[in-house]
Amino acid sequence: MSGQPPLGAEEPVALPEHTASVAQLEEEEKRRALADPGPTWKEWLYFTAFRWWFGIAFLILDSWVAVAFLELGSWVGLVVSLLAAVYLEYLLFVYLWRRPEPTRHRHLRQHRWPPVEVGRWTPEAFAARAAGTRPVLPADAADPREFL
């Protein structure tokens, strides 16, 4: 024979020296994951995934509007409809995902804008609903009851 092992036979593989440290790192990573598992599926869906899906849906809706008015040949209708659609999409996005930031847009708060300080699908709103309270707003925030 030629001194080579027969086909299908494997030689024992020597493990590298750092295998023990890799195993320790994996154990540490598992402990950290069990201690802080991160968001639940529902939280991930509402806080992250739906934002992307709504963005895609908004693009599809805007393209339908654009194609419909391009087929009609109405440029004025196209511009007016797209502006209205984008504005309504912005309002929906603010209603669902606005996060409270006390230092941002301070000049807008003086004019009672925006009407929603905390979006419905934000961690702050979920925590407040779980506790059975309203979301905690900054001291200089607009009172949501003024918009009803």
Read off the DSSP letter of residue 118: S
Question: Which has the closest alpha carbon to 53: 26, 93, 13?
Answer: 93
Contact (CB, 8 A) for 102 and 124? no
> H-type helices in 36-74, by residue range?
41-44, 50-72
Segment 56-109, tens digit of pLDDT: 999 999 999 999 999 999 999 999 999 999 999 998 998 898 887 665 555 555
Residue 111: pLDDT band (50, 70, 90) is very low
* pTM (predicted TM-score): 0.64
Segment 17-37, tens digit of pLDDT: 566 677 888 888 889 888 888
Task: Please name the amino acid found at residue 90.
Answer: Y
